[in-house]
Amino acid sequence: MLTSDISTPRTLEIRGLSVCATRRGHHIDLVRNLSLTLNTGEILALVGASGSGKSMTCAGAQGVLPPGVISPHGHVLVDGVHLAPRALRGRLVSTVLQNPRSAFNPVRTMFDHACEVRRVAAASPAGDKTAVREAFLEVGLEDADTVMDLYPFEMSGGMLQRVMIALAILSGAPFIFADEPTTDLDLIVQARILDLLSGLVARRGLGMLLVTHDMGVVARLATRVAVMEAGQIVEEAPVADIFHAPRHPATRALVAAHLKLYEGAIA
């Protein structure tokens, strides 16, 4: 099935995803039979303790697992149509990662990166400076023409994160997987990037899977929340229920830790 057969995607479903590795001869399940549905126009937060399998879920769904890690089971469907990972990546799903510096090729300019993203997304022409300029302006890179000629080492982490979000816009993908997108940024830049991401979802009607361990970010941005523990989703609910009526011990622990931190900060 070609990507172009899907005109206005509304849902992305991950069904029965398993991810596993072998360590010292032992088989380890990193993600176990995980299913979730992401709708366009919403932010679904994927939360859980460090090591619970959030990043492996994103990587497994897109077929970009590290060496030695495999996904023996799982499907991704967009509007009910089963798609191979290569049909998703950069076309229907774009990614915003935690460490923007390592996500860029050090010997390529920002414009080169934009052209590559447009080429993968089959946007024509790939080297359309006007489209790149508009995307850079939309993410608040006001001197867009100068930024196009910069290399990663010439930019701050916050600027690089803005470019990564601009690249997501340029891909035209209706879904974004944002894996801890603000973890490596200082607090003020974090707040700006979060505003930018939520504005993008609201304006463009994108569907965002927002991976985070920060319940403050969840409270501020998410519509729904899926909680992971040991490779499985143990609770899924609207954001208000997660904070006011958490059911699973893992959810209660995350909310309690968040409240403790918050109360400590205002004491």
Ligand X SMILES: Nc1ncnc2c1ncn2[C@@H]1O[C@H](COP(=O)(O)OP(=O)(O)O)[C@@H](O)[C@H]1O
Site residues (vs ligand X, CB under 6 A): 21, 30, 48, 50-56, 66, 68-69
Cα–Cα dist 177/167, whole Å = 13
Q: Which is nearer to Mg ion, 174 or 231 (CB)?
A: 231
| Region 183-242 residues binding Mg ion, contact defined as CB under 5 A | none
Q: List, in order, residues 6 or more apart from 108 with CB less than 8 Å away.
A: 116, 151
Beta partners for residue 46, in sequence order: 211, 226
Cβ at position 58, least distance to Mg ion in Å: 8
Cβ at position 53, least distance to ligand X in Å: 4
* Gyration radius of the chain over CA positions: 19
The interface partner of residue 91, options being ligand X, Mg ion, none and the CB cut-off 5 to 8 Å by kind, is none
Q: Which is nearer to Mg ion, 16 or 51 (CB)?
A: 51
- Torsions phi, psi for 103 (to 5 deg): -85, -10
Q: Which is nearer to ligand X, 21 or 120 (CB)?
A: 21
Cα–Cα dist 170/126, whole Å = 10
Report the 10 Å Cβ neighbour count for 7.
6
The interface partner of residue 94, options being Mg ion, ligand X, none and the CB cut-off 5 to 8 Å by kind, is none
Q: Which is nearer to ligand X, 58 or 135 (CB)?
A: 58
Cβ at position 213, least distance to ligand X in Å: 7
Cβ at position 30, least distance to ligand X in Å: 4
The interface partner of residue 212, options being ligand X, Mg ion, none and the CB cut-off 5 to 8 Å by kind, is none
Beta partners for residue 83, in sequence order: 76
Q: Stretches 53-61, 73-81, 105-113, 199-207: which one binds Mg ion (CB under 5 A)?
A: 53-61
| Run of H or E residues at 48 | strand 43-48
Instruction: By CB under 5 A, tell whether 55 contacts Mg ion.
Output: yes
Q: Write 135-143 long-range contacts (CB < 8 A, 24+).
A: 135/166, 135/167, 135/169, 135/170, 136/110, 136/162, 136/163, 136/166, 138/166, 138/169, 139/163, 139/165, 139/166, 139/169, 139/196, 140/192, 140/196, 141/166
Q: Which is nearer to ligand X, 6 or 185 (CB)?
A: 185
Cβ at position 181, least distance to Mg ion in Å: 11
Residues making contact with Mg ion (CB under 5 A): 55
